[in-house]
Amino acid sequence: MRKITTLALAAVTALVFAASAGATVVNLDGHANASTDGSTAKTLSLGAGTYEVMFTQDQYMAFSRWNSNMSCAGDGTHCSQGWENSAVFTAGAQTFYFGDSDGNGGYGPNADGSYYDSAARSFAHAGIYSQLFTLGTAGNVSFYIFDDNLSDNRGGISLSVTKVDVPEPAGLPFLLAGIGAIGLLAYKRRKSASL
């Protein structure tokens, strides 16, 4: 019975919180898709709904605003020049500065404004970032890297954009009642089995 209860709870949780569609990957090249005004952005046409943006490893892991690293600590952090994970995207009237130092050019991933010595080390840090946005109606969302001097850039950024189901507030009492009923049933069966 415990196994059935666990499976039922897992199924309910999966139905409520699972993504309704697979992720779309947006690859942003450090040269072709970098600007300060979004003029080089890649655009996705998305339907109404709530979406989650995260860094992913696809064509790119991270980008650098320079052609070399400089003044890194022995552990590969605190570089004055190096690798980062940051991007900007616009959804409707909202602009999101996403990732290291909120993706707002010239600042690296650490609070002190420093960078990493490799794309892999920067990407390993990038898992802390996740951004939700909601489109009330279908529309375009534009993604780009914020930078102004592109000649020495290296790498790029890969983002996953996933539509997620958010439970309706009116349905939450029913969800909680269902979970409670499953728990009560498991309790009663466990109690009768022990007698």
CB 113 within 8 A of CB 105: no
Question: SS3 breakdown of the chain: % helix, strand, coil, rounded to 5?
Answer: 30, 35, 35
Domain total of the chain: 2
Q: What is the DSSP track for 9-50?
A: HHHHHHHHHSBSSPPEEEEEETTTTEESSSTT-EEEEE-SEE
pTM: 0.72
Domain extent at residue 173: 1-17+169-195
Task: Write out the two tokens for 37.
Answer: 């005004």
Please give the Cα distance from 34 to 65 (Å, whole number): 10
Together in a domain, 72 and 5: no
Please give the Cα distance from 169 to 147 (Å, whole number): 41
Together in a domain, 36 and 83: yes
CB 65 within 8 A of CB 153: yes
Residue 55's pLDDT band (cuts 50, 70, 90)? very high
Together in a domain, 72 and 158: yes
- pLDDT, one tens digit per residue, over 41-53 is 999 999 999 999 9
**CATH classification of the domain holding 147:** 2.60.120.1310
Together in a domain, 70 and 158: yes
- pLDDT, one tens digit per residue, over 140-168 is 999 999 988 888 999 999 999 999 975 55
Strands in 56-147 per DSSP E: 63-64, 83-84, 86-91, 94-99, 131-135, 139-146
Residues 6+ apart with CB under 8 A from 143: 26, 28, 33, 41, 42, 43, 44, 87, 88, 89, 159
Of 16-20, 21-25, 163-167, 177-181, the one with minimum mean pLDDT is: 16-20
Averaged pLDDT, 61-90: 92
